[in-house]
Amino acid sequence: MGPTMSETHDFSAQNLFNIKGFVAVVTGGGTGIGLMATQALAANGAKVYITGRRMEALKNATKEHQPASGEGQIIPIGLCDVTKKEDLPRLADEVAQKEKAIHLLVCNAGISGPKAEPKHEDAEDLRSRLWDNEETSDWQNNYQTNVTAVYFTTVAFLLLLQATMRPKGPLEPYSASVLTISSMSGIMRHAQGHFSYNTAKGAIIHLTKLMSAEFQKAGIRVNSIAPGYFPSEMTAKESDDWQKSHVSEEKIQEKNHVPFARPGREVEMGMSVLYLAKNQYVNGEIIAVDGGVLNVVAGR
């Protein structure tokens, strides 16, 4: 058989998504979607370095969710505030002391920002509601964490990503990739009461496209997952002793725009992460995992 031909056993899920030997770095890896990504990667053989601003959350996530022996590994590494430029090369250096290369960078750290519901048709009411409930600093903080930090985190790890395909290395170009976590909120036209968050998430989506085209020249892929409602500290406002959050089906049903009438399941996020991590023929793609919301809310 030629190099592009595969035998049937090659199509088994464990072969398709086998990432034994992969090294990944996940920002905001101690809770929410970052932890879901971490578990999916570690369960399938990857060594996953998780970072964030709270060492307690990182250590707890590591302790509670370490995969069974013989699988991958979850390792907490350096406290890192992704909005501080000087923290990023320090984090990359810390990883470089342990690993020659990384195969996947998941830029997941994010914040939700202020809420100001624009419900009024009367311009005076509308103006006061929006003007009085938001500050320009809120917008700047939001953009700084959700967009600027994603860019600088990626740039800080470019050397380690490209190192997967050194002449001596086993992998071909595009085996290393970056996965940004954007949001369906960056695609829809409904402000959801948070103009600044949705604007920032729209910017991450465009940044992903820009980086995918520019970094393709360096042999690095960049894709994005745009989640709908998944249980995280952002949606649930808290996490439990296992660093997990809970969102009820009723809370999702109240929104009246989620056709599947439930939050996303953690494993559904995990499937999406593995697909983009492993499929070397996908670049610049934005995958909404949203329970059909974008079929109901204008945006596409």
Domain boundaries, the chain: 17-295
The share of the chain scoring above pLDDT 90, in percent, equals 71
The CATH code that applies to domain 17-295 is 3.40.50.720
What SS3 state is found at 191?
coil
Helix or strand (DSSP H, E) at 64: helix 55-65
Q: Which two tokens stand for residue 284?
A: 């610049």
Predicted confidence at residue 169, as pLDDT, reads: 57
229 is catalytic: no
How confident is the model over 148-168, as a mean pLDDT? 91
Residues contacting residue 253 through CB under 8 Å, at least 6 positions apart: 261, 262
Instruction: For residue 179, give the nearest of 18, 36, 31 by alpha carbon.
Output: 36
The whole-chain average pLDDT of the chain stands at 91
**222 backbone dihedrals φ, ψ, rounded to 5°:** -140, 120
Region of poorest pLDDT, from 127-141, 210-224, 237-251: 237-251
Q: What is the pLDDT of residues 31-71, one digit of tens each?
A: 999 999 999 999 999 999 999 999 999 999 999 999 987 78
Phi, psi of 52 (to 5 degrees): 180, -165
Catalytic residue among 201, 212, 229, 245: 201
Q: What is the pLDDT of residues 219-264, one digit of tens each?
A: 999 999 999 999 876 665 666 666 767 788 888 898 889 999 999 9
Of 197, 212, 224, 239, the catalytic one is 197
CA–CA separation, 32 and 34 (whole Å): 5
Distance of alpha carbon 35 from alpha carbon 239, whole angstroms: 12
pLDDT of residue 215: 97
Find the farthest-apart pair of alpha carbons in the chain and give their distance in angstroms, rounded.
Answer: 71
Structure-token pair, residue 260: 């599947």
Among candidate residues 24, 58, 75, 49, the one with its CA nearest the CA of residue 239 = 58
Long-range contacts of 132-141 (CB under 8 A, 24+ apart): 134/195, 134/196, 138/113, 138/114, 138/196, 139/113, 139/196, 139/199, 141/111, 141/113
Considering the candidates 112, 177, 182, 185, report the single residue annotated as catalytic.
182
pLDDT at 206 over 90: yes
pTM: 0.93
pLDDT for 51 = 95
What is the 8-class DSSP label of residue 293?
G
Contact indicator for 28, 76 with CB cutoff of 8 Å? no
Instruction: Flag whether pLDDT at 271 surpasses 90.
Output: yes
Asked if residue 120 has pLDDT above 90, the reply is no
Length reported for the chain: 300
